[in-house]
Amino acid sequence: MVANNKDISSFLKTHGLAGTIIRKQVLSHLWGDGVALTQKEIEEKLPPETDRVTLYRTLRLFTEKGIVHKIVLNGETQKFKIAGRFRKSDHAHFYCTKCHKLLCMPQLDVDLSDLPEGFQFSSARLVVEGICDTCSQKNQTQTQ
Amino acid sequence: MVANNKDISSFLKTHGLAGTIIRKQVLSHLWGDGVALTQKEIEEKLPPETDRVTLYRTLRLFTEKGIVHKIVLNGETQKFKIAGRFRKSDHAHFYCTKCHKLLCMPQLDVDLSDLPEGFQFSSARLVVEGICDTCSQKNQTQTQ
DNA sequence: AAAGCACTTGCAACACGGTTGCATTTTAAT
DNA sequence: ATTAAAATGCAACCGTGTTGCAAGTGCTTT
Protein backbone atom coordinates (compact mmCIF):
# COMPACT_ATOMS: atom_id res chain seq x y z
CA MET A 1 0.00 0.00 0.00
CA VAL A 2 1.92 2.99 -1.23
CA ALA A 3 -0.77 5.61 -1.64
CA ASN A 4 -3.38 6.29 0.99
CA ASN A 5 -6.93 5.16 0.65
CA LYS A 6 -8.34 8.65 0.13
CA ASP A 7 -6.15 9.28 -2.88
CA ILE A 8 -7.11 6.05 -4.54
CA SER A 9 -10.81 6.44 -3.80
CA SER A 10 -10.95 9.88 -5.34
CA PHE A 11 -8.83 8.65 -8.23
CA LEU A 12 -11.43 5.99 -8.95
CA LYS A 13 -14.26 8.46 -8.59
CA THR A 14 -12.56 10.84 -10.99
CA HIS A 15 -12.61 8.12 -13.61
CA GLY A 16 -16.24 7.28 -12.92
CA LEU A 17 -15.56 3.97 -11.27
CA ALA A 18 -16.95 2.59 -8.05
CA GLY A 19 -14.44 2.36 -5.25
CA THR A 20 -14.54 -1.32 -4.53
CA ILE A 21 -12.05 -3.17 -2.38
CA ILE A 22 -10.29 -5.08 -5.13
CA ARG A 23 -9.92 -2.04 -7.33
CA LYS A 24 -8.33 -0.12 -4.50
CA GLN A 25 -6.02 -3.01 -3.72
CA VAL A 26 -4.93 -3.39 -7.34
CA LEU A 27 -4.36 0.33 -7.73
CA SER A 28 -2.41 0.56 -4.52
CA HIS A 29 0.03 -2.03 -5.77
CA LEU A 30 0.42 -0.35 -9.14
CA TRP A 31 0.88 3.05 -7.53
CA GLY A 32 4.27 4.68 -7.76
CA ASP A 33 6.53 5.76 -10.57
CA GLY A 34 7.90 3.02 -12.77
CA VAL A 35 5.93 0.24 -11.15
CA ALA A 36 4.88 -2.37 -13.69
CA LEU A 37 3.52 -5.76 -12.80
CA THR A 38 2.34 -8.92 -14.48
CA GLN A 39 -1.17 -10.10 -13.80
CA LYS A 40 0.39 -12.98 -11.89
CA GLU A 41 2.54 -10.64 -9.84
CA ILE A 42 -0.51 -8.61 -8.90
CA GLU A 43 -2.41 -11.76 -8.04
CA GLU A 44 0.34 -12.81 -5.67
CA LYS A 45 0.23 -9.49 -3.84
CA LEU A 46 -3.51 -9.68 -3.28
CA PRO A 47 -5.18 -11.71 -0.51
CA PRO A 48 -5.08 -15.39 -1.50
CA GLU A 49 -8.84 -15.70 -1.58
CA THR A 50 -9.12 -13.14 -4.37
CA ASP A 51 -10.97 -14.41 -7.38
CA ARG A 52 -8.87 -14.49 -10.52
CA VAL A 53 -11.84 -13.59 -12.73
CA THR A 54 -12.46 -10.44 -10.75
CA LEU A 55 -8.82 -9.45 -11.08
CA TYR A 56 -8.97 -10.15 -14.78
CA ARG A 57 -12.08 -8.01 -15.15
CA THR A 58 -10.58 -5.26 -13.05
CA LEU A 59 -7.48 -5.04 -15.19
CA ARG A 60 -9.52 -5.20 -18.37
CA LEU A 61 -11.68 -2.37 -17.10
CA PHE A 62 -8.71 -0.26 -16.13
CA THR A 63 -7.15 -0.84 -19.52
CA GLU A 64 -10.35 0.07 -21.35
CA LYS A 65 -10.68 3.25 -19.33
CA GLY A 66 -7.09 4.11 -20.12
CA ILE A 67 -6.13 4.14 -16.46
CA VAL A 68 -3.46 1.50 -16.96
CA HIS A 69 -1.39 0.52 -19.95
CA LYS A 70 -0.53 -2.96 -21.08
CA ILE A 71 3.05 -3.18 -22.26
CA VAL A 72 4.68 -6.23 -23.82
CA LEU A 73 8.30 -6.84 -22.92
CA ASN A 74 10.67 -8.81 -25.14
CA GLY A 75 7.66 -10.08 -27.05
CA GLU A 76 6.56 -12.26 -24.17
CA THR A 77 5.64 -10.86 -20.79
CA GLN A 78 2.74 -8.49 -20.48
CA LYS A 79 2.96 -5.90 -17.75
CA PHE A 80 0.42 -3.46 -16.38
CA LYS A 81 1.33 0.05 -15.39
CA ILE A 82 -0.58 3.11 -14.30
CA ALA A 83 -0.99 5.36 -17.29
CA GLY A 84 -0.19 8.56 -15.43
CA ARG A 85 -0.50 11.73 -17.41
CA PHE A 86 0.02 9.99 -20.76
CA ARG A 87 -3.36 9.12 -22.16
CA LYS A 88 -2.24 7.12 -25.15
CA SER A 89 -0.09 4.05 -24.74
CA ASP A 90 1.65 5.07 -27.92
CA HIS A 91 4.74 6.63 -26.46
CA ALA A 92 8.01 4.87 -25.81
CA HIS A 93 8.85 2.95 -22.66
CA PHE A 94 12.12 2.06 -21.02
CA TYR A 95 12.37 -1.17 -19.08
CA CYS A 96 15.18 -1.55 -16.60
CA THR A 97 16.33 -5.14 -16.48
CA LYS A 98 17.88 -4.57 -13.06
CA CYS A 99 15.20 -2.91 -10.95
CA HIS A 100 12.36 -4.02 -13.27
CA LYS A 101 10.92 -0.55 -13.42
CA LEU A 102 9.10 0.54 -16.52
CA LEU A 103 9.45 4.21 -17.30
CA CYS A 104 7.63 6.39 -19.80
CA MET A 105 10.00 7.98 -22.26
CA PRO A 106 8.11 10.29 -24.58
CA GLN A 107 11.39 11.93 -25.50
CA LEU A 108 12.42 8.76 -27.30
CA ASP A 109 9.59 9.01 -29.78
CA VAL A 110 10.12 7.52 -33.16
CA ASP A 111 11.66 9.68 -35.83
CA LEU A 112 9.14 9.42 -38.60
CA SER A 113 11.24 11.33 -41.06
CA ASP A 114 13.03 8.05 -41.69
CA LEU A 115 9.82 6.46 -42.89
CA PRO A 116 10.25 5.69 -46.58
CA GLU A 117 8.28 7.52 -49.26
CA GLY A 118 4.64 6.53 -49.49
CA PHE A 119 4.32 5.03 -46.04
CA GLN A 120 1.61 6.46 -43.82
CA PHE A 121 2.09 6.42 -40.10
CA SER A 122 -0.70 5.52 -37.75
CA SER A 123 0.78 4.39 -34.45
CA ALA A 124 4.00 3.08 -32.98
CA ARG A 125 5.11 1.03 -30.05
CA LEU A 126 8.63 1.20 -28.78
CA VAL A 127 10.08 -0.60 -25.81
CA VAL A 128 13.73 -0.06 -25.01
CA GLU A 129 15.45 -2.34 -22.54
CA GLY A 130 18.56 -1.62 -20.58
CA ILE A 131 19.66 -0.25 -17.26
CA CYS A 132 18.16 2.90 -15.82
CA ASP A 133 20.12 5.83 -14.44
CA THR A 134 19.56 4.93 -10.80
CA CYS A 135 20.76 1.38 -11.26
CA SER A 136 23.82 2.29 -13.30
CA GLN A 137 24.89 4.78 -10.64
CA LYS A 138 24.79 2.28 -7.83
CA ASN A 139 27.35 -0.16 -9.07
CA GLN A 140 27.00 -2.22 -5.96
CA THR A 141 25.09 -5.46 -6.06
CA GLN A 142 21.48 -4.58 -5.92
CA THR A 143 18.45 -6.78 -5.81
CA GLN A 144 14.91 -5.98 -6.93
CA MET B 1 2.99 -22.71 -52.02
CA VAL B 2 5.07 -19.77 -53.14
CA ALA B 3 8.57 -21.19 -53.28
CA ASN B 4 9.39 -24.48 -54.90
CA ASN B 5 10.16 -27.58 -52.92
CA LYS B 6 13.86 -27.63 -53.80
CA ASP B 7 14.41 -24.16 -52.38
CA ILE B 8 12.72 -24.98 -49.13
CA SER B 9 14.45 -28.32 -48.73
CA SER B 10 17.88 -26.82 -49.16
CA PHE B 11 16.90 -23.96 -46.89
CA LEU B 12 16.10 -26.45 -44.14
CA LYS B 13 19.27 -28.39 -44.78
CA THR B 14 21.31 -25.20 -44.58
CA HIS B 15 19.96 -24.65 -41.10
CA GLY B 16 20.66 -28.23 -40.06
CA LEU B 17 17.04 -29.31 -39.96
CA ALA B 18 15.44 -32.39 -41.44
CA GLY B 19 13.16 -31.67 -44.36
CA THR B 20 9.92 -33.05 -43.06
CA ILE B 21 6.56 -32.48 -44.65
CA ILE B 22 5.13 -30.14 -42.07
CA ARG B 23 8.24 -27.99 -41.92
CA LYS B 24 8.15 -27.56 -45.68
CA GLN B 25 4.47 -26.73 -45.58
CA VAL B 26 4.90 -24.16 -42.85
CA LEU B 27 7.85 -22.54 -44.57
CA SER B 28 6.08 -22.44 -47.91
CA HIS B 29 3.28 -20.43 -46.35
CA LEU B 30 5.64 -18.04 -44.62
CA TRP B 31 7.70 -17.60 -47.77
CA GLY B 32 7.62 -14.25 -49.50
CA ASP B 33 8.43 -10.72 -48.51
CA GLY B 34 6.31 -9.18 -45.82
CA VAL B 35 4.33 -12.32 -45.08
CA ALA B 36 3.53 -12.60 -41.39
CA LEU B 37 1.02 -15.01 -39.97
CA THR B 38 -0.51 -15.96 -36.65
CA GLN B 39 -0.17 -19.52 -35.47
CA LYS B 40 -3.88 -19.86 -36.10
CA GLU B 41 -3.59 -18.48 -39.61
CA ILE B 42 -0.86 -20.98 -40.40
CA GLU B 43 -2.92 -23.77 -38.90
CA GLU B 44 -5.82 -22.90 -41.19
CA LYS B 45 -3.64 -23.06 -44.26
CA LEU B 46 -2.33 -26.51 -43.41
CA PRO B 47 -4.22 -29.76 -44.08
CA PRO B 48 -6.97 -30.09 -41.47
CA GLU B 49 -5.55 -33.29 -40.04
CA THR B 50 -2.36 -31.52 -39.00
CA ASP B 51 -1.56 -31.93 -35.33
CA ARG B 52 -1.47 -28.66 -33.44
CA VAL B 53 1.34 -29.82 -31.17
CA THR B 54 3.55 -30.51 -34.14
CA LEU B 55 2.86 -27.07 -35.55
CA TYR B 56 3.61 -25.55 -32.17
CA ARG B 57 6.89 -27.44 -31.94
CA THR B 58 7.80 -26.55 -35.49
CA LEU B 59 7.32 -22.84 -34.87
CA ARG B 60 9.18 -23.04 -31.58
CA LEU B 61 12.06 -24.78 -33.32
CA PHE B 62 12.15 -22.22 -36.13
CA THR B 63 12.14 -19.41 -33.61
CA GLU B 64 14.94 -20.97 -31.56
CA LYS B 65 17.02 -21.45 -34.68
CA GLY B 66 16.42 -17.84 -35.64
CA ILE B 67 14.76 -18.82 -38.89
CA VAL B 68 11.57 -17.00 -38.02
CA HIS B 69 10.84 -14.04 -35.79
CA LYS B 70 7.95 -13.62 -33.42
CA ILE B 71 6.56 -10.11 -33.51
CA VAL B 72 3.82 -8.75 -31.28
CA LEU B 73 1.38 -6.32 -32.84
CA ASN B 74 -0.56 -3.76 -30.82
CA GLY B 75 0.35 -5.67 -27.68
CA GLU B 76 -1.92 -8.53 -28.58
CA THR B 77 -1.47 -10.60 -31.70
CA GLN B 78 1.69 -12.56 -32.18
CA LYS B 79 2.83 -13.08 -35.76
CA PHE B 80 5.52 -15.26 -37.25
CA LYS B 81 7.69 -14.12 -40.10
CA ILE B 82 10.71 -15.49 -41.89
CA ALA B 83 13.78 -13.79 -40.50
CA GLY B 84 15.41 -13.20 -43.83
CA ARG B 85 18.81 -11.64 -43.73
CA PHE B 86 18.26 -9.99 -40.35
CA ARG B 87 19.55 -12.32 -37.71
CA LYS B 88 18.43 -10.38 -34.67
CA SER B 89 14.79 -9.56 -34.17
CA ASP B 90 15.88 -6.26 -32.73
CA HIS B 91 15.26 -4.04 -35.68
CA ALA B 92 12.09 -2.11 -36.37
CA HIS B 93 9.06 -3.48 -38.17
CA PHE B 94 6.29 -1.81 -40.10
CA TYR B 95 2.86 -3.39 -40.09
CA CYS B 96 0.43 -2.42 -42.81
CA THR B 97 -3.10 -2.43 -41.47
CA LYS B 98 -4.47 -2.74 -44.98
CA CYS B 99 -2.60 -5.59 -46.61
CA HIS B 100 -1.41 -7.04 -43.29
CA LYS B 101 2.15 -7.28 -44.45
CA LEU B 102 4.91 -6.95 -41.94
CA LEU B 103 8.04 -5.35 -43.28
CA CYS B 104 11.50 -5.04 -41.79
CA MET B 105 12.55 -1.43 -41.41
CA PRO B 106 16.10 -1.25 -40.12
CA GLN B 107 16.27 2.35 -41.31
CA LEU B 108 13.79 3.29 -38.59
CA ASP B 109 16.14 2.30 -35.84
CA VAL B 110 15.80 4.05 -32.54
CA ASP B 111 17.73 7.22 -32.03
CA LEU B 112 19.59 6.49 -28.84
CA SER B 113 21.00 9.96 -28.55
CA ASP B 114 17.69 10.93 -26.99
CA LEU B 115 18.24 8.47 -24.15
CA PRO B 116 18.62 10.52 -20.97
CA GLU B 117 21.91 10.73 -19.11
CA GLY B 118 22.82 7.59 -17.20
CA PHE B 119 20.62 5.19 -19.08
CA GLN B 120 22.31 2.18 -20.66
CA PHE B 121 20.82 0.70 -23.76
CA SER B 122 20.58 -3.03 -24.25
CA SER B 123 17.90 -3.78 -26.81
CA ALA B 124 14.84 -2.22 -28.39
CA ARG B 125 11.68 -3.32 -30.06
CA LEU B 126 9.79 -1.01 -32.34
CA VAL B 127 6.65 -1.77 -34.27
CA VAL B 128 5.16 0.97 -36.39
CA GLU B 129 1.67 0.58 -37.76
CA GLY B 130 0.17 2.36 -40.71
CA ILE B 131 -0.34 1.95 -44.42
CA CYS B 132 2.46 0.80 -46.67
CA ASP B 133 3.52 2.47 -49.90
CA THR B 134 1.82 -0.05 -52.15
CA CYS B 135 -1.50 0.27 -50.38
CA SER B 136 -1.47 4.05 -50.21
CA GLN B 137 -0.83 4.24 -53.96
CA LYS B 138 -3.79 2.10 -54.88
CA ASN B 139 -6.54 4.25 -53.51
CA GLN B 140 -9.16 1.90 -54.86
CA THR B 141 -10.99 -0.42 -52.51
CA GLN B 142 -8.69 -3.23 -51.77
CA THR B 143 -9.21 -6.30 -49.70
CA GLN B 144 -6.64 -8.43 -47.91
C1' DA C 1 18.21 -50.32 -52.48
C1' DA C 2 17.78 -51.85 -47.66
C1' DA C 3 18.76 -51.41 -42.72
C1' DG C 4 19.30 -48.98 -38.58
C1' DC C 5 19.28 -45.09 -35.76
C1' DA C 6 18.17 -40.66 -34.46
C1' DC C 7 14.94 -37.48 -34.99
C1' DT C 8 10.05 -36.21 -35.68
C1' DT C 9 5.32 -36.85 -35.23
C1' DG C 10 0.71 -37.93 -33.25
C1' DC C 11 -1.85 -38.70 -29.34
C1' DA C 12 -3.36 -38.25 -24.74
C1' DA C 13 -3.26 -35.54 -21.11
C1' DC C 14 -2.56 -31.73 -18.05
C1' DA C 15 -1.86 -26.66 -16.89
C1' DC C 16 -3.25 -22.21 -17.10
C1' DG C 17 -5.13 -17.89 -18.59
C1' DG C 18 -9.05 -15.76 -21.06
C1' DT C 19 -13.90 -15.50 -21.17
C1' DT C 20 -18.95 -15.94 -20.24
C1' DG C 21 -23.45 -16.42 -17.65
C1' DC C 22 -25.71 -16.16 -13.68
C1' DA C 23 -26.84 -15.87 -8.84
C1' DT C 24 -25.35 -13.21 -4.91
C1' DT C 25 -23.32 -9.34 -2.74
C1' DT C 26 -21.80 -4.66 -2.50
C1' DT C 27 -21.79 0.19 -3.71
C1' DA C 28 -23.75 4.60 -4.09
C1' DA C 29 -27.71 7.47 -4.62
C1' DT C 30 -32.20 8.68 -2.66
C1' DA D 1 -32.70 2.58 5.49
C1' DT D 2 -34.18 1.38 0.84
C1' DT D 3 -33.28 0.31 -3.57
C1' DA D 4 -31.50 0.11 -8.18
C1' DA D 5 -27.34 -0.48 -10.54
C1' DA D 6 -22.95 -2.26 -10.57
C1' DA D 7 -19.42 -5.55 -9.03
C1' DT D 8 -18.17 -9.95 -7.38
C1' DG D 9 -17.72 -15.08 -6.83
C1' DC D 10 -18.46 -19.33 -8.75
C1' DA D 11 -18.82 -22.85 -12.11
C1' DA D 12 -17.75 -23.88 -16.34
C1' DC D 13 -15.92 -23.78 -21.06
C1' DC D 14 -12.41 -22.76 -24.54
C1' DG D 15 -8.01 -22.26 -26.68
C1' DT D 16 -3.18 -22.51 -26.37
C1' DG D 17 1.14 -23.90 -24.16
C1' DT D 18 3.53 -27.84 -22.71
C1' DT D 19 5.11 -32.63 -21.62
C1' DG D 20 5.82 -37.79 -22.07
C1' DC D 21 5.72 -41.53 -24.69
C1' DA D 22 4.86 -44.78 -28.39
C1' DA D 23 4.84 -45.11 -33.31
C1' DG D 24 6.48 -43.41 -37.63
C1' DT D 25 9.72 -41.09 -40.79
C1' DG D 26 13.99 -39.02 -42.75
C1' DC D 27 18.63 -39.70 -43.50
C1' DT D 28 23.09 -41.95 -43.43
C1' DT D 29 25.72 -46.01 -44.12
C1' DT D 30 26.51 -50.03 -46.34
Written as tens digits, the pLDDT of chain A (144 aa) is 556 777 899 999 999 999 999 999 999 999 988 899 999 999 999 999 899 999 999 999 999 999 999 998 877 789 999 987 665 656 788 999 999 999 988 777 777 788 898 999 888 888 899 999 999 987 655 444
pLDDT for res A142: 45
Rounded average pLDDT over B100-121: 85
Q: Is residue B27 part of a domain?
A: yes
Q: Is residue A144 part of a domain?
A: no
pLDDT, tens digit, for every residue of A97-124? 999 999 988 777 777 788 898 999 888 8
A78, A114, A130 ranked by CB distance to B122: nearest? A130
Q: Which strand C bases fall within 7 angstroms of a protein CB?
A: 7-13, 17-21, 26-28
Number of domains in chain A: 1
Q: Is residue B144 part of a domain?
A: no
Best CA proximity match to B105, nearest among B79, B130, B135 = B130
Is the CB of B39 less than 7 A from some atom of nucleic acid strand D?
yes
Q: Is residue A65 part of a domain?
A: yes
Do residues B71 and A75 make contact, with C-beta atoms less than 8 angstroms apart?
Answer: yes
Q: Is residue A39 part of a domain?
A: yes
Do residues B100 and B74 make contact, with C-beta atoms less than 8 angstroms apart?
Answer: no
Q: Is residue B143 part of a domain?
A: no
Tell me the shortest Cα–Cα distance from A52 to chain B, in angstroms: 20
B117, B119, B128 ranked by CB distance to A124: nearest? B128
How many CB pairs lie under 8 A apart between chains A and B? 109
Helices (H), B2-143: 5-14, 21-30, 39-45, 52-65, 133-137
A89, A111, A128 ranked by CB distance to B121: nearest? A128
Best CA proximity match to B70, nearest among B44, B99, B100, B93 = B93
Q: What is the residue range of B79's domain?
A: 5-137
Is the CB of A57 less than 7 A from some atom of nucleic acid strand D?
yes
A111, A120, A129 ranked by CB distance to B131: nearest? A120
H helix or E strand, kind and range, residue B19: none
Domain at A104, CATH number: 1.10.10.10
* Residues 6 or more apart whose Cβ sits within 8 Å of residue A11: A27
Q: Is residue A143 part of a domain?
A: no
Asked if B120's CB is within 8 angstroms of A129's CB, the reply is: no
> How far apart are alpha carbons A135 and B18 in whole angstroms?
46
- Mapped to the 3 state alphabet, what secondary structure does A11-50 carry? HHHHCCCCCCHHHHHHHHHHCCCCCCECHHHHHHHCCCCC
For residue B143, pLDDT beyond 50: no
- Amino acid identity, position B48: P
Q: Is B139 on the interface with A (CB under 8 A)?
A: no
| Residues packed against strand C, CB within 7 Å | A 12-13, 18-21, 39-40, 52-53, 56-57, 60, 78; B 17-18, 20-23, 49-51, 53-54, 57-58
* Residues 6 or more apart whose Cβ sits within 8 Å of residue B78: A75, B38, B39, B70, B71, B72
> How far apart are alpha carbons A29 and A22 in whole angstroms?
11
Q: Is B75 on the interface with A (CB under 8 A)?
A: yes
A23: nt with nearest C1' to CA: D7
Q: Is residue A91 part of a domain?
A: yes
pLDDT, tens digit, for every residue of B33-89? 889 999 999 999 999 889 999 999 999 999 999 999 888 887 778 899 998 766 565
Is the CB of A53 less than 7 A from some atom of nucleic acid strand D?
yes
